[in-house]
Structure 1
């Protein structure tokens, strides 16, 4: 029976990869009209970069991505619907040899809201994996979609990403310290510009004529 499982590596930090492994059955391997598809529904806490997928994973799948891509926005400014990534897996000849296929999706976390724990856990949903096969019925083509279930051995914590966040108890120190550093940098820049301007305004010393003795 076909099944799928997914896991994150690493499980901590702002950059990780979701690896989805699909174990194939004989029906999928023997039917050349069948194709595999995976749909990832991502929360607003994380995002995928379409340019990264196109550059690094074009030989593994084609994809369609909907939702916000802006990589600079913190989670507080991101829309709540997140992103939806749909993959059409490219079937290499190795599928029949291994009866298994793995795909990787790099993800990136947005800056989270402050928490006294100093971290924020982001649970991700496993992708919905389906098999689509073409057939004929009364001289017309039909497509059958068959869901591929999760493996019973799947770890429910394998798709939880932990990221560091600011501690709100430190804001009373961080905010004035940041303001002090910015002010100090501004004063240093102003002083440097003033010294440079004074040097430019300083007249060149008049050279004295030299006496020549015959």
Structure 2
């Protein structure tokens, strides 16, 4: 099992490396204010037998839980999804064929595929309020413990009760499963990381963001160590192109009153400034809609109607979407929607865009009233990668450190 623990702090929150204590197979640090990411990598041989058999017919499986609590992102942890439980699954063979373990996908929706020769992907979403009363981290912890067998792995999962997000990922190309836990920036009064099993490889980094040399790069510096191998933290500095960046604009959401059966979601955006130094960037909104609310793709075909809502085009909507069925008769989880917005000329003035939606009939109640909700959308600028960044090497370590990795070229600016 391989473990990688990364702390990333703002430059003003740096610590004296002399305060980092390394004792044989344990590292300790105190008074650290930083975001934290723990990643555990497990080989197929380290997984339970029944899970290995199930994954034998899986090409890719990605599960992410995101807390509904508000938090501030910090590079390189800028990628965001709507709060709740997201599942993306791609089988090796077509669902329903002999040998396909995950054949009961009645609640999943299809994902578009660029290659018709490849098996279709599937998507599932569950709102945070629909998860177990004990809380989503506990629910995902139960899933994660089905993957973990060692004490050290389960100990790491138990620490995730206050996490901002938890990811479970499997890829047949590497035949490895990864559990990634992320905590947004907070004060860590005392942190102790131990190598609980002599066969484990535990890597730890305490890093800070530096001023980037190129617009799409992230420059980081700090200290890296491998428990059991390093006698003291090794200084390092590296840069890499990152797909996800922060944008200064803020977004608010509300429904225009009265809502009725045809609610309109209004996005209030604090400015229309595109990412600095980039041309041709497009502003998009991605909505994850529970089955009680749905879009009508035919409404997005009228260019004049779209212009009146400050929208440009519909780029994706889950198909099929039943336009008539009540919520309580549906088996699908819901639908997703990707729409390009039409911001006014660049300025610091606030503006709005409106996305038309529709409400399904809900299950009748004795009071005559029912409520529903949808998670906050992701709003982001999407920019094409330029040739210079596309050829830039990833994660070049310097100053005695190693390669800590990067994300590749391209850019999305999260609003």
Kindly report the root-mean-square deviation, in angstroms, between the aligned alpha carbons of the 2 structures.
Answer: 2.5
Partner of residue 353, structure 2: 103
Partner of residue 69, structure 1: 321
Partner of residue 20, structure 1: 267
- Change in Cα spacing, 1:29 to 1:140, as seen in structure 2 (3 Å) is closer
- Change in Cα spacing, 1:23 to 1:95, as seen in structure 2 (3 Å) is farther
Report which stretch shifted further, 26-35 or 44-53. Answer: 26-35
Contact conserved, 1:19 with 1:103, CA < 8 A, in 2?
A: yes
Specify every segment of 5 or more residues in structure 1 that has no aligned partner in the other structure, as ranges.
149-214
- Change in Cα spacing, 1:135 to 1:99, as seen in structure 2 (3 Å) is farther
SS of the counterpart of 2:410? strand
Q: 2:363 aligned to 106, 110, 113, which one?
A: 113
Q: 1:49 aligned to 293, 296, 299, which one?
A: 296
- Change in Cα spacing, 1:100 to 1:30, as seen in structure 2 (3 Å) is farther
TM-score normalised per structure 2: 0.32
Bigger relative contact order, structure 1 or 2, given CA contacts below 8 A and separation 6+? 1
Contact conserved, 2:273 with 2:348, CA < 8 A, in 1?
A: no
Partner of residue 335, structure 2: 83
SS of the counterpart of 1:42? strand
Partner of residue 55, structure 2: none
Deviation at 1:139, TM superposition (A): 6.9
Counting helix residues as a fraction of each chain, which structure ranks higher? Answer: 1
- What CA distance in whole angstroms lies between the structure 2 residues aligned with 1:47 and 1:34? 27
Aligned residues: 146
- Change in Cα spacing, 1:12 to 1:97, as seen in structure 2 (3 Å) is closer
Alpha-carbon displacement from aligned partner over 1:173-203 (angstroms, at most 9, x marks no partner): xxxxxxxxxxxxxxxxxxxxxxxxxxxxxxx
Point out 4+ residue stretches in structure 1 off by more than 6 angstroms: none
TM-score normalised per structure 1: 0.59
